[in-house]
């Protein structure tokens, strides 16, 4: 008699190959997803993509897993990664920019995810600075950009994206039930993972090429439309130096968050964890 765990793993492997073949057929990008690496399970797509980058893999190399045992989130947090329901993806980019500019990739990736959600579901996503994507005020996507550098400067960026697509509420730890969600929970219907992934990579490639040519300023207005829920709201931002409390004014041309403090002073934040005081309404982009 076969081991049930082995049978389950084999079934997931077949399903993953099916998603891989389906995605390859749907994908029309020129750079991203060329090549594609699929895994039934992996420790972390970012870790694997980082190894490929160090070995000289080309820009556009994409790693996708059906599940992760050590998914990575922002600020050292873990990312819950159950099998067979979500998207765990890392893209290798080699932009000819400085390390000071590279974090803007987080912002354009959030726009790409939001556009993919709008394109493949009836949902209206919102972006929470800098790069969390929300639906109905709950997080459905996390983004993590990790840089590789040497004495010559930036060598590569590993852009990791995790999207909760078809995960039921039971897939999340109880402590996340009021914070995390999925496209399934929010819409009541399943989403084709291959179709969503193809849409995401298409939008991401479009915005990446535009960013390389014209900078983030050309994408700022679109980011702000998705973040309309936060503009003019009072927020608290945990930053390395402490906490900043004030009203959101918008984004600077380079993606920094502009906040007017309660005392009238203006802050320009490049990193931090945002809490909206009093809640907010969802954003929208057209």
Verdict on whether the full-model pTM lies above 0.75: yes
- Do both 47 and 64 map to the same domain? yes
Q: Show the domain range for 255.
A: 234-276
pLDDT for residue 87: 94
Order of strands, sheet of 242-251, starting from the edge strand that comes earlier in the sequence = 266-269, 257-261, 242-251, 234-239, 273-276
- Do both 255 and 211 map to the same domain? no
Cβ proximity of 247 and 282 under 8 Å:
no
Q: Is residue 128 part of a domain?
A: yes
The helix/strand/coil state of 99 is coil
DSSP secondary-structure letter at 58?
Answer: P
The tokens of 282 are what?
Answer: 């969802």
Cβ proximity of 236 and 257 under 8 Å:
no
Q: Is residue 115 part of a domain?
A: yes
**How far, in Å, CA of 86 to CA of 165, rounded?**
5
- Do both 206 and 243 map to the same domain? no
Q: Is residue 51 part of a domain?
A: yes
pLDDT for residue 17: 62
Q: Is residue 32 part of a domain?
A: yes
pLDDT for residue 164: 95
122-152 burial code (b ≥16 CB/10 A, e <16): ebbbbbbbbbbbbbebbbbbbbbbbeeeeee
- pLDDT tens over the chain, length 286 residues: 334 444 444 444 445 566 778 888 899 999 999 999 999 889 889 999 999 999 999 999 999 999 887 544 444 444 456 778 999 999 999 999 999 999 999 999 999 999 999 999 999 999 988 889 999 989 999 999 999 999 989 999 999 999 999 999 988 888 888 889 999 999 999 999 999 999 999 999 999 999 999 999 999 999 999 998 888 999 999 888 889 999 999 999 888 999 999 999 999 998 888 888 876 444 444 3
**How far, in Å, CA of 24 to CA of 33, rounded?**
8
Total domains in the chain come to 2
pLDDT for residue 15: 52
CATH of the domain at 242: 2.30.30.100
- Do both 154 and 95 map to the same domain? yes
């Amino acid at each position: 008699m076969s081991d049930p765990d082995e049978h389950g793993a084999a079934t997931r492997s077949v399903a993953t190959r099916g998603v891989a073949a389906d995605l390859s057929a749907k994908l029309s990008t020129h750079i991203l997803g060329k090549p594609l690496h699929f895994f039934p399970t992996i420790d972390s797509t970012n870790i694997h993509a980082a190894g490929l980058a160090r070995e000289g893999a080309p820009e556009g190399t994409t790693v996708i897993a059906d599940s992760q045992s050590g998914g990575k989130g922002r600020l050292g947090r873990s990312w819950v990664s159950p099998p067979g329901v979500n998207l765990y993806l890392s893209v290798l980019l080699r932009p000819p920019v400085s390390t000071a500019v590279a974090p803007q990739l987080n912002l354009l990736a959030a726009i790409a995810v939001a556009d993919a959600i709008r394109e493949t579901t009836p949902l209206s996503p919102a972006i929470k600075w800098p790069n969390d994507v929300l639906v109905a005020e709950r997080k459905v996507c996390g983004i993590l950009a990790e840089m590789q550098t040497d004495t010559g400067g930036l060598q590569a960026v590993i852009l990791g994206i995790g999207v909760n697509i078809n995960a039921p509420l039971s897939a999340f730890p109880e402590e996340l039930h009021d914070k995390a969600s999925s496209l399934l929970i929010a819409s009541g219907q399943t989403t084709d993972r291959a179709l969503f992934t193809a849409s995401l990579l298409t939008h991401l490639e479009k915005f990446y090429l535009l960013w390389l040519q014209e900078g983030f300023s050309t994408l700022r207005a679109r980011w702000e439309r998705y973040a309309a829920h936060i503009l003019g709201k009072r927020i608290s931002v945990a930053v390395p130096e402490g906490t900043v409390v004030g009203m959101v004014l918008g984004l600077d041309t380079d993606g920094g968050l502009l906040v007017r403090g309660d005392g009238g002073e203006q802050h320009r934040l490049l990193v931090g964890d945002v809490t909206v005081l009093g809640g907010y309404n969802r954003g929208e982009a057209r």
